[in-house]
Chains A and B, each alone.
Chain A
Amino acid sequence: MTASLLTLADSRLPAGGHTHSGGVEQAIAAGLVRDPASLAAFLLRRLVTSGAVAAGLAAAACRGRNLPVLDAEADARTPSPALRAASRQQGRGLVRVGRRAWPSPLWDALPAAPHHPVALGVAAAAGGLTPRDAAAAAAYLSVSGPATAAQRLLAMDPLTVAAVTARLAPEIDAVAEDCLSRADGELSADTDPLLDLLAEVHATRGDRFFAS
C-alpha cells in the first residue's frame, strides 16, 4: 500500500460522492434503516452485493484489463437506470479529480463518464496502487458514503456511525480478498434487487437531498 490509497478512499476527495446516499435515503424513507443495527444490516447487504461487484471491477481495471469491456460488464451488472446514472456520474467526478491528482496516460483508455469502479481502478493504477488496493477502496467506499448519508439524514451519533463502519473492516477485507481469489477474470455479479427497487423509487421523488 502507498499513501495514495488513503487519498483515494478519503471521503473528502472531491469526486462528488457526498451527493449520493447509496440507497440509504430511500431505505430510510421506506423504514428499512432507522437505527445503528438496521444501518449495519443495510451497509452489509450493500457491501456484499454492489460493493463486491465494484471491488471486482476496480481490481480488474487496475490490473489493466480492457476498460470498455469492463465498463460494459459494469452495465450488465447494473440494470437499474438510476444506479447506472449514479455510478457514471461518480465515475465522471472521479476522473475529473483523478486526472489532476495522478496524471497518467492510463486515463485516456477510459470511456467518457465511465462506471465509478472502473474509474477507481484506473485511479488506483495511476496512483501506483495494486489491484488489491483498488478492490479495498471500492469495497470501503460502498459503505462509507451511505454511512455518512444515514448519519446526516437521521442525525445519528457520528461516533456510533464511525464505529459501525470501522467494525465492518473484516467484511470489507473479505470482499476485497474474494475478488482476487476468484478464477481467472471472473467478476462478481452479486446483486440485491432491493437496492434496484429503492434506487428507482428514489429517482422519481421530487423531494430528496441526495442524487441517489
Chain B
Amino acid sequence: MPPDHNLDDYVDAYEHGHRHGGPLRVGLGGPVGSGKTALAAALCRTLGAEYDLAVVTNDIYTTEDADFLRRNAVLPDDRIEAVQTGCCPHTAIRDDITANLDAVELLEARHPGLELVLVESGGDNLTASFSYGLVDVQVFVVDVAGGDKVPRKGGPGVTASDLLVVNKTDLAPLVGADLDVMRRDSAVVRGDKPTLLISLREDPAATEVAEWVRAQVRARQLQQA
C-alpha cells in the first residue's frame, strides 16, 4: 500500500447516517413463534392513528403473516408488502437486503408522508439480526416459553438489538421460567440497552413497546429537523 493511500477512496462520504429523510424503519426479529407478528399487529393498532405507517413482512413460505396483519391490524392492503426470502429469511434482512429495500421504497413511494415502517423478519434463530442498511433500530422478540436461559445464551439478537422484548410473561408460571433471572441476565449481556418483559395477551396494545417506538420516531424527527 503506498504511503499516500487515501482510505476515503474506498468509503462513500455518506456511509455514516447514509439515509436522509424518509420514515423510521424498525426491524422486528426473533425466533419462530415468539410473537413478532402479534407485536407488529399490536403496534399497528396502537400507533396506526398517530403515525402514517406501513409494514413489510418476510414470511418464510406463505403470505400468512401479511394476511394475519390484514385481518388483525386494520391496516389497509396497500400498507403491507410481503417479500419472498428464497428459503433464507436471515439473508434477506442482513446479507442481501435488496428485496426488503425494494419493498420499503415501494411503500415510501406509495405513501409519501410515511413516518414509520415496521420490517418483520421471518422467524429465524437467535443469531438473526437486521443490517443497519435496512433498519434504523431493531427489536428482538423472544418468549418466556423458550426457557429462561435465552437471554443468558445471548446471540446478536439478544445482545445487540436496540430493544429486547421478552413476550408471554403470562406463561412464566406454566413453563417454570423465572422472570427475574431473565431480567437480570438481559441486563448483564445488554448493558445499558433496554429490555421489556411483556404479555401481549394481557396487554394487547403493547403499551411499553409502543412508547419506546414513539421515542425512536421523535428522535429521528429531531435528528432530521
Whether A and B touch directly in their complex, counting CB atoms under 8 A apart, is answered as yes
> For B97, what are the chain A residues with a Cβ–Cβ distance below 8 Å?
14
Q: Does B12 contact A (CB under 8 A)?
A: yes
Which residues on B are within 8 Å of A, measured CB to CB? 12, 60-63, 83-88, 91-92, 95-99, 101-102
Please, how many angstroms separate the alpha-carbon atoms of A210 and B83 in the complex? 9
- How far is A14 from B83 in the complex, measured between Cα atoms in Å? 16
Assembly CA distance A153 to B94 (angstroms): 21
Max chain A C-beta neighbours (<10 A), residue from B63, B86, B95: B86
Residues in A neighbouring B91, C-beta threshold 8 A: 18
What residues of chain B lie closer than 8 Å to A20, measured between beta carbons? 86
Knowing A14-B96, A19-B98, the reply to whether A211 touches B83 (Cβ < 8 A) is yes
**Minimal beta-carbon separation of A104 from chain B (angstroms):** 14
Q: Does A149 belong to the interface (CB within 8 Å)?
A: yes
Complex formed: what's the CA distance from A16 to B95 in Å? 10
Q: Return the CB mask of A158-187 against B: 1 if under 8 Å, else 0.
A: 000000000000000000000000000000
Interface size class of A (residues with CB under 8 A): 20 to 34
How many angstroms between the C-alpha atoms of A126 and B172 in the bound complex? 58
Check A105 for interface membership: any CB of B closer than 8 A. Answer: no
* A65 interfacial contact with B, CB 8 Å: no
- Annotate A57-100 by CB proximity to B: 1 below 8 A, 0 otherwise: 00000000000000000000000000000000100110011001
CA distance A56 to B12 in the complex (A): 32
Residue of A nearest to B133 (CB): A14
In the bound complex, how far is the Cα of B92 from the Cα of A172, in angstroms? Answer: 28
Residue of A nearest to B96 (CB): A14
* Complex interface bits, A189-212 against B, C-beta within 8 A gives 1, otherwise 0: 000000000000000001111110
Interface status of A106 (Cβ within 8 A of chain B): no
A21 on the B face (CB < 8 A): yes
Tell me the minimal C-beta distance from A114 to chain B in angstroms. Answer: 14
Bound complex: CA A205 to CA B12 (Å): 41
Whether the pair B87, A16 counts as a contact (CB closer than 8 A) is no
Task: Name the residue among B87, B95, B99 with the largest chain A CB count within 10 angstroms.
Answer: B87
Cβ of A134 to closest chain B Cβ, rounded Å: 20
27 contacts between A and B (CB under 8 A): A12-B95, A14-B95, A16-B98, A16-B99, A17-B96, A18-B86, A18-B88, A18-B91, A18-B92, A18-B96, A19-B84, A19-B86, A19-B96, A20-B86, A89-B102, A93-B98, A93-B102, A96-B98, A97-B98, A149-B86, A149-B87, A206-B62, A209-B61, A209-B86, A209-B87, A210-B86, A210-B87
Q: How far is the CB of B63 from chain A (nearest CB, A)?
A: 6
Inter-chain pairs besides A15-B98, A209-B86, 7 sampled, C-beta below 8 Å: A12-B95, A14-B98, A16-B102, A17-B96, A19-B86, A149-B87, A209-B85
For A118-161 the 0/1 string (1 means CB < 8 A from B) is: 00000000000000000000000000000001001100000000
Contact between B84 and A208 (Cβ–Cβ < 8 Å)?
yes
B residues near A206, Cβ cutoff 8 Å? 62-63
Give the docked Cα–Cα distance between A12 and B96 (Å). Answer: 8
Q: How far is the CB of A85 from chain B (nearest CB, A)?
A: 11
Q: What distance in Å separates the Cβ of A106 from its nearest Cβ neighbour in chain B? A: 18
Of chain B, the residue at the smallest CB distance from A17 is B96
Known contacts A92-B102, A96-B101, A152-B88; A19/B83 CB under 8 A = yes
